[in-house]
Amino acid sequence: MLSSLSSTISRLNLFCPKPLIPPSLSSCLKTLKPLPIIPRWSCLHSLSTHSTSRLSTSLKPQFDALVSKDDLVVLGIETSCDDTAAAVVRGNGEILSQVVSSQADLLAKYGGVAPKMAEEAHSQVIDQVVQEALDKANLTARNLSAVAVTIGPGLSLCLRVGVRKARKLAGSFNLPIIGIHHMEAHCLVARLIERELEFPFMALLISGGHNLLILAHDLGHYIQLGTTIDDAIGEAYDKTAKWLGLDMSRSGGPALEELAQEGDAESIKFSTPMKQHRDCNFSYAGLKTQVRLAIGSHNINPEIPISSASSQDRRSRADIAASFQRVAVLHLEERCDRAIEWARKIEPSIKHLVVSGGVASNQYVRARLDHVVKKNNLQLVCPPPKLCTDNGVMVAWTGIEHFCMGRFDPPPPADEHEDYVYDLRPRWPLGEEYAEGRSEARSLRTARIHPSLTSIIQSSLQQQ
């Protein structure tokens, strides 16, 4: 009996931090030879290996008996774009720390994200940000159960910084490591805030790089109802803000939302994108072109900051901002309406629409989508603004959700070679496209390095 239990525990030492094993049992295990560890979750192997290995489901009951979800402590690291973030979260949902280092100065200088500059900025602060997250949690890396890190989608140069740090830390302290899908993290952080949020539910994920409408069947099982065929709404906000001469140091979205409050949203008749296409996909390239033409017709000089504009010039800029925002969000409303109709055909029981991602911090966006949700007898779930923008909490929490399902990788080697090729997934779909919702618009960007997260997990489950 003891021999059998000992073998099981030695194969489970990835699940359990050493302090969780009773001292009396720990002393008995020292003389036993450990068996090889076979994880179910292979997201962080080198690009030359894409297999998804499995941990025997027969070990799950023993794992549950050894450590509860509430006892887990996970560090989350996020560097997919322009914020360096880390956080420590307990399995019970307690946020022990949250640290974000913004690249606002670089955004203002370059008028957006410059990948090489962003990479250098991440590299300069990543050690400090992670250490500060541990210090604020009053913990050391030895107290962690696992490390979770974003591996895609995002900018390869930026993703590499976070993955390198996560692997170095996990290798040094013999910690399991969990590769996280950035958009899934935006989706699942709502389950940290709204603990009664259960699958299935709908989610609209809106940020600078993504517009995504999904039906979340279950953890790791998503159907893509709609996505962007060109530019995302956050990118359109940022570009419009830049062209209007707004302060980009806090990103363009908040600055444009604030200016729009001064304007007349009906003053400029921008056309709503993709009215002729009866799908749930998004396009903001055409709206951006309309904005540029309007700025030119009003003789607005973007080189003159809004703070130096005349009263008439400021009014014109405010009208453009308000008119742009009305149509940009109307496009969201129309697509959400149709997506809810489609989702109910698949899952009639859905009760919630989660709205997350950086643009979900916009109060006008929230108000308009709340109207759509109420009209369809659903409930709107929006994380607080600090959890809508990129953050380590969402990464840590998503890591906890997957860790409890046995989806993780073993600790990397402590002496991993500097030339190790990380598995980064800059273009990584979250779910499979809804067959009836394929776009009739111009071709979507179809290049992908990896199969979707959903297909990886579903394939793994079918092999069990």
For the stretch 192-234, pLDDT in tens is 999 999 999 999 999 988 899 999 999 999 999 999 999 999 9
For the stretch 165-179, pLDDT in tens is 999 999 999 999 999
Q: Which helix (H) or strand (E) holds 306?
A: none
Q: Say yes or no to pLDDT of 252 above 60.
A: yes
Radius of gyration of the chain from its Cα atoms, rounded to whole angstroms: 23
Query: What pLDDT sits at residue 441?
Result: 62
Q: Which position has the higher pLDDT, 64 or 330?
A: 330
pLDDT grade, residue 442 (50/70/90)? low
Tokens representing residue 428 in the block: 């990584």
Residues 6 or more apart in contact with residue 267 via CB below 8 angstroms: 319, 322, 323
3-class SS shares of the chain: helix, strand, coil, % to 5: 45, 15, 40
Q: Which position has the higher pLDDT, 116 or 199?
A: 199
Query: What pLDDT sits at residue 34?
Result: 30
* Contact present, 85 and 129 (Cβ < 8 Å): yes
Using the structure block, give the residue that is written with the tokens 């030879």.
Answer: 33
Name the nearest CA neighbour of 5 among 68, 70, 61, 71.
61
For the stretch 334-370, pLDDT in tens is 999 999 999 999 999 999 999 999 999 999 999 999 9
pLDDT grade, residue 438 (50/70/90)? confident
